[in-house]
Amino acid sequence: AQINDHHMIIKILGSAAGGGFPQWNCNCSNCADVRNGAPGFTARTQSSLAVSRDGKDWVLLNASPDLRKQINDTPELGAQSSGGLRNSPIKAAVLTNGDVDHISGLINLREMEPLAVYGSDRVLTVLAQNSIFNVLNSEKVVRRELKLGEPTKLSGTEAMLGITVEAFPVPGKVALYLEDASKGADFGTVEGDTIGLKITDTETGKYFFYVPGCADLDAPLARRLEGAALVFFDGTLFDDNEMIDAGLSAKTGKRMGHISMSGPEGSIAAFEKLGVARKVYVHINNSNPVLNENSDARKEAEAAGWSIGYDGMEIRI
Ligand code: MLT
Ligand code: MN
Ligand code: ZN
């Protein structure tokens, strides 16, 4: 692995939303096109980033069901030939919600490697209530609560990562499998169900934001993101109705807890005045027309200064 003393290295492991691109059971035009190798379409795995200060020790931001493939596609993350018989550069994982696409990859990390798993109280409770996660041996894998609004210094069980994480609540929705219709329009959503992360390099003081799920860019969130050098943001849908219009689902983006890119209430408009230097969409649903490099939607997002995240994209700050 490459040593780098001056930068935080950020890699997109998976840029797609739940289901990935193409999604296993989906024959929508985007999924059919990427499956057929049509020009302008690139396959994507599910939602995750990896961050390192030294190129050696890494923290995952979300653990997707595609983690095994992501590790195999990213040599820095696999067992190192310079390490022991069993070793892993992945020292920690930070979870932003309890969604299947963000937590189920933890099960891939089950072979007695030391690991620290960070999440809100709410998400750690979800893990505790799902006994399948006990496959992560508690003698090796510690679970640490991220208190909202408090910067936490990340340490794997072996490594200090030189990174702090501040979790903050963002507008969102409880995970799909936890929705409780009897609890009204928000399905029983509580604070901590969806968090954003501010990730800071403790040596340089440089930071970026990671907000892969967000229902609304409200005033507190806008203030927080204002002037940032780099933000990775929820790019689930382009249009709030696109899944309905395509006949894929009866749900709007709002109903799923995701702000859309376009329109007067969309994220493109909401970021217009925030002065964020680099804006990257992640968690992109397979229905989203920006996945077609030749689409008008793609041109609109790029003209507004957005990058459409892709697997393997690397940014250093
Ligand atoms: C979401 O982002 O809305 C969820 O990942 C959806 C899902 O659980 O399939
Ligand atoms: Mn998701
Ligand atoms: Zn599709």
**CA 97 to centroid of ligand 2, rounded, Å:** 9
Average pLDDT for 47-66: 97
For residue 111, pLDDT over 50 is answered with: yes
What pLDDT score was predicted for residue 158? 75
Surrounding ion ligand 2 within 5 Å at CB are 17-18, 99, 101
- Spatial distance between the Cα atoms of 202 and 200, rounded to a whole number of angstroms: 6
What pLDDT score was predicted for residue 230? 98
For residue 255, pLDDT over 60 is answered with: yes
**CA 99 to centroid of ligand 2, rounded, Å:** 6
Confidence bin at 5 (pLDDT 50/70/90): low
For residue 257, pLDDT over 90 is answered with: yes
Does the beta carbon of 18 sit less than 6 angstroms from any atom of ligand 1?
Answer: yes
- How do residues 62-106 score in pLDDT, each as one tens digit? 999 999 999 999 999 999 999 999 999 999 999 999 999 999 999
Closest-CA residue, ligand 1 atom 3, reads 256
Confidence bin at 27 (pLDDT 50/70/90): very high
Name the amino acid, one letter, at 106.
L
Percent pLDDT > 90 in the chain is 96
Query: For residue 181, what are its two tokens?
Result: 């219709």
Phi, psi (deg, nearest 5) at residue 252: -80, 170
Ligand 1 atom with least separation from CA of 173: 3
- How do residues 190-226 score in pLDDT, each as one tens digit? 999 999 999 999 999 999 999 999 999 999 999 999 9
Asked if 64 and 102 count as a contact pair (C-beta separation under 8 A), the reply is yes
- Spatial distance between the Cα atoms of 193 and 43, rounded to a whole number of angstroms: 29
- Spatial distance between the Cα atoms of 125 and 154, rounded to a whole number of angstroms: 20
- Spatial distance between the Cα atoms of 82 and 52, rounded to a whole number of angstroms: 18
CA-to-CA dists, residue 254 to 57, 145, 178, angstroms: 37, 28, 17
**CA 259 to centroid of ligand 1, rounded, Å:** 13
Give the CA dihedral 155, 124, 62, 78, nearest 10 degrees.
50
For residue 1, pLDDT over 50 is answered with: no
Closest-CA residue, ligand 1 atom 7, reads 18
- Taking all residues of the chain, what is their mean pLDDT, rounded to a whole number? 96
Pick the closest to residue 315 from 51, 44, 14 (CA basis): 51
Does the beta carbon of 277 sit less than 6 angstroms from any atom of ligand 1?
Answer: no
**CA 107 to centroid of ligand 3, rounded, Å:** 26
Does the beta carbon of 213 sit less than 6 angstroms from any atom of ligand 1?
Answer: yes
**CA 62 to centroid of ligand 3, rounded, Å:** 22
Does the beta carbon of 176 sit less than 6 angstroms from any atom of ligand 1?
Answer: yes
**CA 66 to centroid of ligand 3, rounded, Å:** 17
Pick the closest to residue 120 from 137, 103, 134, 138 (CA basis): 103
Ligand 1 atom with least separation from CA of 177: 8
Average pLDDT for 167-191: 97
Average pLDDT for 102-118: 96
* Total count of residues recorded for the chain: 317
- Spatial distance between the Cα atoms of 236 and 102, rounded to a whole number of angstroms: 14
Does the beta carbon of 249 sit less than 6 angstroms from any atom of ligand 1?
Answer: no
What pLDDT score was predicted for residue 156? 86
